[in-house]
Copies of this chain bind each other. A is one copy, B any other.
Amino acid sequence: MSPSTPPEAAQKLLAIPGPIPLSPNVQRTLGLAPQSHVSPEFVKIFLESLHMIREVVHTTSASTAFILAGSGTLGWDQVGANLIEKGDRALVLHTGYFGDGFKECLDTYGANVDLVKSELGGTVKIADVENALKNAKDVGKPYKIVTITHVDTSTGVLSDARAVAACVRQFSPETLVVLDAVCSLASEDVQMDAWGLDVVLSASQKGLGAPPGLSILIASQRAINLWEERLKRGVKSGSFYSSWEKWIPIMRAYDQNKPAYFGTPAVNLVRALHASLVEITRGPIPLATRLALHIHASDLVKKSAERLGMEQVACEPAGRAHGMTALYVPEGVSAADVLGGVARRGVIMAGGLVKEVKDRYIRVGHMGWSVVGDGGKDVSFVVRVLEEAVKEAVEKKRVTARL
């Protein structure tokens, strides 16, 4: 074995649905020396990050925010371990791979999970959600939680979180609404208070514009009350690492500008996240404009794909993400060919993730700095490279067919 040296000389443009390219300032902040996790400087950075993340989800009501060392998956784990008790019913809205994951996580903590599945590439029908909620109420066993994957990274399907939340509030008001916003926060609108969301969970490496390695979660007072009431009955968290018994006092201490310790925070990642949150909430581009820029970039990519005859996995016009696009490759062309073609031109895109069609589609990320930085020149480059690579692959197929 001869250890690798970093290949930054041949740095390609990352256009996958996370991790994403960082802004120059976030990149620079990431490279700073570690700080003490209990120093006043770091505690202030943590406190500010907890405040700014609340701004990004638009909550001003009492809520508890968590920033933990871990991947986005740890957000599911926090929900399962702290809000689910053995036998609780959960309704998981399934629009791709990540619905299966969330279900399996809740299973681990003893939930009885019902899935409401969309057709591949579609969104879940609100009428199906309504029926499920009503049936559960009718048999006297309402759902403890309903989970929504805001953007399923495997399909690029955008769910109407507002409509689902409204439906839950109407037909099963005691049910908590949990939004998996891993692939949507800061690239799609998330209105925690206005829509009545109880948990918004995310990760650092997508729209939030920081490196991977942080689980981010905001819980409403209602969710925390439920957890407290459960704790009073002596039912502890199902996991140690995800335990809110452990983390809530830590997050509340940081929220009050005081150091506290349960596990060592990933200080360098938190500083990078802080730098990105400053850009998102206090930078020259307001959050609303940032979201509009994501819509614009998304349109560029999707229209270009249409011109190339590529269909989107997300088949409903209103149910398409703005931070990523999942595209079927043209008939007879292989996804590997297209991915290879864009890579030769300096762009990294991602392969498929949904088993049934895994080799038939590619995924393109257009989030964060690539969209808002340098006038969105990354996205223009991505569009051009995709066009070239697809045309090349189609031409290659034609030539092969003739031989």
> Could you tell me which A residues sit within 8 Å of B by CB distance?
1, 3-4, 6-8, 11, 14, 16, 18-22, 27-39, 41, 44-45, 48, 51-52, 69-74, 76-77, 80-81, 104-105, 108-109, 203, 205, 211-213, 236-243, 261-269, 271, 274-275, 277-278, 282, 348, 350-351, 353
Chain B: CB-nearest residue to A262: B73
Chain B: CB-nearest residue to A74: B241
Instruction: Report the separation of the CA atoms of residues A263 and B76 in the bound assembly, to the nearest whole angstrom.
Output: 11
| Contact between chains at A212 and B73 (CB < 8 Å) | no
- Say whether, besides A14-B36, A264-B19, A350-B36, A70 and B69 are in contact (CB < 8 Å): yes
Known: A34-B211, A108-B243. 19 other contacts (CB 8 A): A3-B274, A4-B48, A6-B29, A19-B35, A19-B267, A21-B34, A28-B31, A30-B268, A31-B31, A36-B348, A39-B348, A70-B74, A70-B241, A104-B240, A109-B240, A212-B266, A213-B213, A239-B242, A261-B353
Instruction: Report the separation of the CA atoms of residues A35 and B45 in the bound assembly, to the nearest whole angstrom.
Output: 26
Instruction: Report the separation of the CA atoms of residues A108 and B71 in the bound assembly, to the nearest whole angstrom.
Output: 22
Chain B: CB-nearest residue to A108: B240
> How far apart are A87's CB and chain B's nearest CB, in angstroms?
17
| Contact between chains at B69 and A212 (CB < 8 Å) | yes
Cβ-defined partner of A73 (8 Å) among B28, B263, B353: B263
Cβ-defined partner of A14 (8 Å) among B33, B71, B104: B33
Instruction: Report the separation of the CA atoms of residues A48 and B6 in the bound assembly, to the nearest whole angstrom.
Output: 13
**13 residue pairs from A and B, CB less than 8 Å apart:** A4-B44, A4-B274, A6-B271, A6-B275, A14-B35, A31-B31, A34-B212, A37-B212, A69-B70, A70-B74, A73-B240, A76-B240, A241-B242
| Contact between chains at B241 and A203 (CB < 8 Å) | no
> How far apart are A259's CB and chain B's nearest CB, in angstroms?
9
Instruction: Report the separation of the CA atoms of residues A35 and B205 in the bound assembly, to the nearest whole angstrom.
Output: 11
For A205, the chain B residues whose CB sits under 8 A away are: 34, 264
Chain B: CB-nearest residue to A239: B239
Instruction: Report the separation of the CA atoms of residues A285 and B289 in the bound assembly, to the nearest whole angstrom.
Output: 52
Instruction: Report the separation of the CA atoms of residues A277 and B52 in the bound assembly, to the nearest whole angstrom.
Output: 35
| Contact between chains at A14 and B30 (CB < 8 Å) | no
Instruction: Report the separation of the CA atoms of residues A402 and B125 in the bound assembly, to the nearest whole angstrom.
Output: 81
> How far apart are A363's CB and chain B's nearest CB, in angstroms?
11
> How far apart are A128's CB and chain B's nearest CB, in angstroms?
26
Cβ-defined partner of A71 (8 Å) among B104, B264, B348: B264
For A70, the chain B residues whose CB sits under 8 A away are: 69-70, 74, 241, 263
Most buried by B among A36, A77, A264, A271: A264
Instruction: Report the separation of the CA atoms of residues A35 and B15 in the bound assembly, to the nearest whole angstrom.
Output: 10
For A27, the chain B residues whose CB sits under 8 A away are: 31, 33
Chain B: CB-nearest residue to A211: B268
For A213, the chain B residues whose CB sits under 8 A away are: 69, 213, 266, 268-269
